[in-house]
């Protein structure tokens, strides 16, 4: 039996949407800034300190402050710690209103209707925060809650192979039958490769391939992802 497991952020939904709503709420006059580039910078800075936030070297608040301050500074906007936390507050508010696109809903419906396919999620982040997103997206319509694996709940983060092994055991999977779909080469693709899983890079942002982290498959749109998965089951 084959299994398709997904990352959540910027994979099952476009993470730019809540980020853009937050930015334009606070800086409505700054239409000159490329929101996709600003978001990409925030992800770079988030990745820089994510591991430190998981180990307790820095707090989650410090991570939120760091990534927003650094990203905005790259575009000439200086903000205080307090302003960075307001940004995070609004960002979380809009993340609670995220929705799946019709394309992703159709894809999940098609996959979940197949008797020889299992679906799951492996996502990095604080337990409650990530579960809020899972429920906002209504993923339990297609993916059983016992197949949703959150790093903050388990205590292991992607790209560590142990979180993939944990999912294997819980879902009774064989590594050679498991496919992982995610947007991050450093966590999703590296993790899948570490675990001996098939890897699919959903490269929404059209980033260059990283040497040593080449995926087995790469797609750049939701439509292309749906087409690819049909060829794999």
Domains of the chain: 2-14+99-232 (3.40.50.1000), 16-95 (1.10.150)
Is residue 50's pLDDT more than 90?
no
Q: What phi, psi does 5 have (nearest 5°)?
A: -115, 140
- At a CB cut-off of 8 Å and minimum separation 6, what does 128 contact? 152
Q: pLDDT (tens digit, 9 = 90+) per residue, 69-94?
A: 999 999 999 999 999 999 999 999 99
Q: pLDDT (tens digit, 9 = 90+) per residue, 188-213?
A: 999 999 999 999 999 999 999 999 99
- At a CB cut-off of 8 Å and minimum separation 6, what does 50 contact? 63, 124, 157
Give the pLDDT confidence score for residue 18 in this predicted structure. Answer: 96
Q: What tokens appear for 147 in the block?
A: 């197949």
- Tokens 């334009």 identify what position? 24
* Mean pLDDT, rounded, for 164-173: 98
Is residue 23's pLDDT more than 90?
yes
CA dist 159 and 66 (Å) reads 22
How far apart are the two ends of the chain, measured CA to CA in Å? 9
């Amino acid at each position: 039996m084959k299994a398709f497991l997904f990352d959540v952020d910027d994979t099952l939904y476009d993470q730019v949407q809540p980020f853009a709503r937050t930015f334009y709420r606070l800086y409505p006059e700054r239409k000159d800034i490329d929101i996709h580039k600003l978001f990409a910078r925030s992800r770079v800075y988030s990745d820089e300190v994510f591991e430190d936030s998981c180990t307790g070297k820095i707090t989650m608040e410090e991570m939120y402050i760091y990534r927003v301050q650094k990203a905005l500074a790259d575009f000439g906007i200086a903000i205080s710690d307090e302003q960075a936390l307001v940004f995070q507050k609004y960002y979380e508010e809009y993340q609670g209103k995220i929705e799946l696109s019709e394309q992703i809903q159709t894809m999940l419906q098609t996959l979940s209707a197949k008797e020889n396919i299992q679906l799951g999620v492996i996502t990095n982040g604080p337990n409650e925060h990530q579960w809020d997103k899972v429920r906002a997206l209504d993923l339990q319509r297609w993916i059983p809650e016992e197949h949703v694996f959150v790093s903050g709940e388990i205590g292991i983060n992607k790209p560590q192979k142990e979180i993939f092994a944990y999912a294997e055991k819980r879902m009774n999977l064989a590594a050679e039958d498991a496919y992982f779909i995610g947007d991050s080469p450093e966590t999703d693709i590296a993790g899948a490769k570490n675990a001996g899983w098939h890897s699919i890079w959903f490269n929404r942002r059209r980033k260059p391939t990283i040497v040593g982290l080449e995926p087995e498959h790469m797609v750049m749109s939701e439509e292309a992802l749906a087409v690819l998965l049909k060829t794999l089951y």
